[in-house]
């Protein structure tokens, strides 16, 4: 674990950083390249976790996602995910930046639709990728609700 990992930005700071990055990109091609670059930086997922039980259904490409409570915390949840498609890996990286390391209540209350709209991803992704992204978000929120202490989910 690096120093950067222990000094995690808030969900709002992560969202603002991503929004600013996308605002600097002039074309759809640059946005896709940025997504691919984000995906390349995604830490590798443990191959043992790439099983059917962890696969996100509803995605055109293969996506695996696991969540676990952060040791030593009551309700902070970490996510690991991967995909076999470059752009989808970038989408996974965005969701990981927004959701991983956050308390379950923040995961459940974050306005992901508004955030994705600010990035422009709501209009620039194909229908299949938008559907897959929605399924990834649904899975993250389901896992957060499952792993959250009862009082954190309310």
Q: Catalytic residues, which ones?
A: 59
3-state SS string over 3-44?
HHHHCCCCHHHHHHHHHHHHHCCCCHHHHHHHHHHHHHHCCC
- DSSP annotation of 122: H
125-131 CB contacts, 8 Å cutoff, 24+ apart:
128/60, 129/60, 129/87, 129/88, 129/91, 131/58, 131/59
Q: How far is CA 16 from the centre of its chain?
A: 15
Give me the numbers of helices (H) and strands (E) for the chain, helices first please. Answer: 8, 3
């Amino acid at each position: 674990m690096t120093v950067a990992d222990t000094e995690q930005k808030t969900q709002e700071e992560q969202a603002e950083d991503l929004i600013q990055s996308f605002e600097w990109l002039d074309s759809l091609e640059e946005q896709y390249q940025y997504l691919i670059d984000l995906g390349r930086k995604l830490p590798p997922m443990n191959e043992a976790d790439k099983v059917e039980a962890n696969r996100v259904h509803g995605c055109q490409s293969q996506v695996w996602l696991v969540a676990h409570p952060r040791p030593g915390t009551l309700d902070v949840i970490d996510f690991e995910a991967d995909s076999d498609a470059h752009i989808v890996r970038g989408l996974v990286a965005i969701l990981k930046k927004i959701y991983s390391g956050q308390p379950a209540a923040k995961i459940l209350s974050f306005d992901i639709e508004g955030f994705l709209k600010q990035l422009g991803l709501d209009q620039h992704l194909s229908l299949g990728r938008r559907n897959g992204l929605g399924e990834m978000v649904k899975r993250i929120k389901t896992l957060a609700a499952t792993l959250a202490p009862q009082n954190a989910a309310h």
